[in-house]
Amino acid sequence: MTNATELTVEPIIGLEIHVQLATRTKMFCGCPLEFGAPPNTRVCPVCLGLPGALPVINRQAVELAVRAALVLNCRIATFTKWDRKNYYYPDLPKNYQISQYDLPISSDGYFELTCDGQPRRVGIIRAHLEEDAGKNVHDFPGYTGVDLNRAGTPLLEIVTQPDLHSADEAREFAVQLQRLVRYLGVSEANMQEGHMRFEPNINLRIISGGQEFRTPIVEVKNLNSFRSLYLAVQYEIDRQLEQWRETGETAAMGNKSNRGWDDVKEITLPQREKEEAHDYRYFPDPDLVPMTFDPAWVGQLQSEMPELPIRRTERFVAEYRIPAQDAPALVDDRRTADLLDSAAAAGGDKVTLAKHFLSFWAKHANERATTVAGLGIAPQRLAELANLVQAGKVNATAAAQIAEAMLSSSDSPTALAERLGLLQSRDTDQIAAWVDQALAANAQAVQDAIANPKKIKAARGFLTGQVMKLSGGKADPKIVGELIEKKLAEKTGGNH
Ligand SMILES: [Zn+2]
């Protein structure tokens, strides 16, 4: 468009993501992390914030944070410290949260993802450790309860650059980050249990009549599903454009705001004005020592990094010859991807294995609400079944039946194929007998075909089908084809 109403709108989106780390115990005490435990039963003087209780750093949480930071290509701090973020809220009995302010554990990284099949890089400003607050429970008429089981849960807060430009991209980032932290074992990233929470910062860059305008930045708080992240970002994009058209208000100092998400009405609603950092009176926590990291230890963690999903996808497409759109089904669950590699390493035909994983193994996994790896079948047996198909000993339909039997039997796929009578017959005499039978039963059609060479191809296909039927699906189709060819050639004197 080149008329006077020409308008370019570019959403500018950054994300803050809280990821719950997969530790057994809390960040600064030994209380177990257990979702759904009765309220205030997983607490101690430290996480209750009782006077005189001293925090002790959870080493595993630090290690998981460093692993995540490395995969986000962040610089790992050689010196990092803990700060108190002071605020007063019922779910925070200490009246401060232990977090990291000016010296986070890691910073300056990027995350590689694919959007619409295109590689994209999203800058990571920082990723720091902190503890979660408790939870207010509004289940009682007239008053509110506080459950402190969650207080002190280790969180990694990841802050991205405002490098995302649509609701789709924001969701894609979140989905691929979830896959990544699961791959690393850094987090279970279970959305239902609140292991990942998103807070997008959104505003618009609008170009109108040759002038550039930026709408005020809005932070939407506490989104706990991919769907609400997507919908909230999309809602804000539309709402901010609308508001800009009505009021012309643009970003200036101090007009950032927080909004909440109403999951029922699917709208954002204004919340209290956003605090600035100085409102929190950050200061170093005197109860916790700063941390320094030995480069050799960081190097060790780096060397233990698994093959990441984005690279594995490329390799699977090339090695297993699968279409790119099927890759997530094989790659997203690390144990399933590892199993496929193990089955291939056990000598299984790669292309056949991938087909089996995507078809009947995926189906059985879905029916049992698990993953293919969760079916618990040894890689050697998966490989053996794939090779029975590859060698022409069983056909594809039979393979699915054998797979089903494998789920409840520890016998080898070959033994099961024999027991179920599914091994293809490679007995040439037997197949020849079936071919003769099929030819005799369709003598007229065969004569027609011989008289009219245009019909010969259709006749061959028809006869093959008849022989397969006579054999109960057990005849090796390759041998059947060869024998039919030979018999027809004999009848025509070898002219076809
Ligand atoms: Zn505790």
The pLDDT tens digits for 113-144 are 888 878 899 999 999 999 999 999 988 899 99
* 170 Cα–ligand 1 center, Å: 35
Q: Hey, is 210 helix, strand or coil?
A: coil
* 26 Cα–ligand 1 center, Å: 7
Average pLDDT over residues 168-184: 95
Strand 257-262 vs strand 218-220: parallel, antiparallel, or unpaired? parallel
* 44 Cα–ligand 1 center, Å: 4
Average pLDDT over residues 450-464: 84
Per-residue pLDDT of 16-65, as tens digits, reads 999 999 999 999 999 999 999 999 999 999 999 999 999 999 999 999 99
**Which residue has tokens 């199993």?**
339
φ, ψ (nearest 5 deg) of residue 103: -125, 70
Give strand pairing partners of 120: 113
Identity of residue 11:
P
Identity of residue 174:
A
Measured CA to CA, the distance from residue 78 to residue 59 in angstroms comes to 16
Whole-number pLDDT of residue 422 = 87
Q: Answer yes or no: is pLDDT of 2 > 80.
A: no
Per-residue pLDDT of 247-287, as tens digits, reads 988 887 667 899 999 999 999 999 866 566 678 899 999 99
Instruction: Residue 200: name the closest of 177, 171, 178 by CA.
Output: 171
Asked if 86 contacts 281 with a C-beta cutoff of 8 angstroms, the reply is: yes
Measured CA to CA, the distance from residue 464 to residue 183 in angstroms comes to 48
* 297 Cα–ligand 1 center, Å: 28
- Residues with Cβ within 8 Å of 121's Cβ and at least 6 positions away in sequence, in order, are 110, 111, 112, 163
Asked if 257 contacts 223 with a C-beta cutoff of 8 angstroms, the reply is: no
Q: Hey, is 425 helix, strand or coil?
A: strand
| Local confidence band at 469 (pLDDT 50, 70, 90 cut-offs) | confident
* 281 Cα–ligand 1 center, Å: 25
* 284 Cα–ligand 1 center, Å: 21
Asked if 278 contacts 77 with a C-beta cutoff of 8 angstroms, the reply is: no
Alpha carbon separation from 353 to 243, 288, 344, 413 (Å, rounded): 55, 52, 7, 14
Asked if 474 contacts 421 with a C-beta cutoff of 8 angstroms, the reply is: yes
* 31 Cα–ligand 1 center, Å: 4
* 57 Cα–ligand 1 center, Å: 12
Measured CA to CA, the distance from residue 85 to residue 97 in angstroms comes to 5
* 236 Cα–ligand 1 center, Å: 39
Whole-number pLDDT of residue 100 = 97
In the chain, where does the domain assigned CATH 1.10.10.410 lie?
A: 428-492
Cα Rg of the chain, angstroms: 31
* 285 Cα–ligand 1 center, Å: 18
pTM attached to this predicted model: 0.81
Instruction: Residue 187: name the closest of 72, 342, 55 by CA.
Output: 72
* 459 Cα–ligand 1 center, Å: 78
Instruction: Name the CATH topology of 428-492.
Output: Arc Repressor Mutant, subunit A (1.10.10)
Instruction: Residue 301: name the closest of 60, 81, 129, 490 by CA.
Output: 60
Q: Hey, is 64 helix, strand or coil?
A: helix
* 135 Cα–ligand 1 center, Å: 15
Asked if 215 contacts 240 with a C-beta cutoff of 8 angstroms, the reply is: yes
* 81 Cα–ligand 1 center, Å: 21
* 127 Cα–ligand 1 center, Å: 24
H/E run at residue 311:
helix 309-319
Whole-number pLDDT of residue 72 = 97
- Strands (E) across 168-210 are located at 196-208
Q: Could you tell me what percent of the chain has a pLDDT over 70?
A: 97
Q: Answer yes or no: is pLDDT of 5 > 80.
A: no
Q: Answer yes or no: is pLDDT of 3 > 60.
A: no
Measured CA to CA, the distance from residue 107 to residue 176 in angstroms comes to 20
* 49 Cα–ligand 1 center, Å: 9
**Which residue has tokens 């997530």?**
328
* 36 Cα–ligand 1 center, Å: 16
Per-residue pLDDT of 147-159, as tens digits, reads 999 999 999 999 9
* 151 Cα–ligand 1 center, Å: 8
Measured CA to CA, the distance from residue 92 to residue 86 in angstroms comes to 10
Alpha carbon separation from 361 to 339, 343, 379, 392 (Å, rounded): 12, 13, 13, 20
* 62 Cα–ligand 1 center, Å: 17
Identity of residue 486:
K
Alpha carbon separation from 145 to 61, 134, 152, 262, 391 (Å, rounded): 29, 11, 18, 22, 65
Mean pLDDT across the chain: 92
Residue 466, exposed/middle/buried by CB under 10 A (0-12, 13-18, 19+)? buried
Measured CA to CA, the distance from residue 171 to residue 186 in angstroms comes to 20
Average pLDDT over residues 1-10: 71
Q: Answer yes or no: is pLDDT of 70 > 50.
A: yes
